[in-house]
Amino acid sequence: MLPAALLTLAVLAAPAAGKAKPATNTKDPVCKMTVDAKSATVAVRGREYRVCSKYCGEALQKDPDKYLDKDGSVKAEKK
C-alpha cells in the first residue's frame, strides 16, 4: 500500500462542515487567553475551537496551520 493513497483517503474522509467535533481546548489558539465552555467557537477543518472573540476566530480560520498542529491540537496548549 502506498502512503500517498492513504493520505488521499484521509483527506476525502474529512468530515464536512456542520459535523464538527465539539471544542475541548482551554486556551484560545490565537491569543492564548483562557477560554471555557461559554466562549465562542469556530469550526476549523471539521473540529470546533473555543476562541475569546470573533477576531481570533477569523484569524484561526484564515491561517489554521499557524495555530494548530496537523492532528488538530492547539499549539498554544503545548509546552
CA dist 21 to 44, 63, 78, Å? 10, 19, 20
CA dist 37 to 24, 29, 40, 48, 51, Å? 8, 15, 8, 12, 10
Q: Which is nearer to Zn ion, 47 or 50 (CB)?
A: 50
Count residues near Zn ion (CB under 5 A).
Answer: 6
Site for Zn ion in 46-65 (CB under 5 A): 52, 56
Distance of CA 49 to the CA centre of its chain: 5
Q: Which is nearer to Zn ion, 30 or 74 (CB)?
A: 30
Binding mask 14-53 for Zn ion (x = CB under 5 A): --------------x-xx-x------------------x-
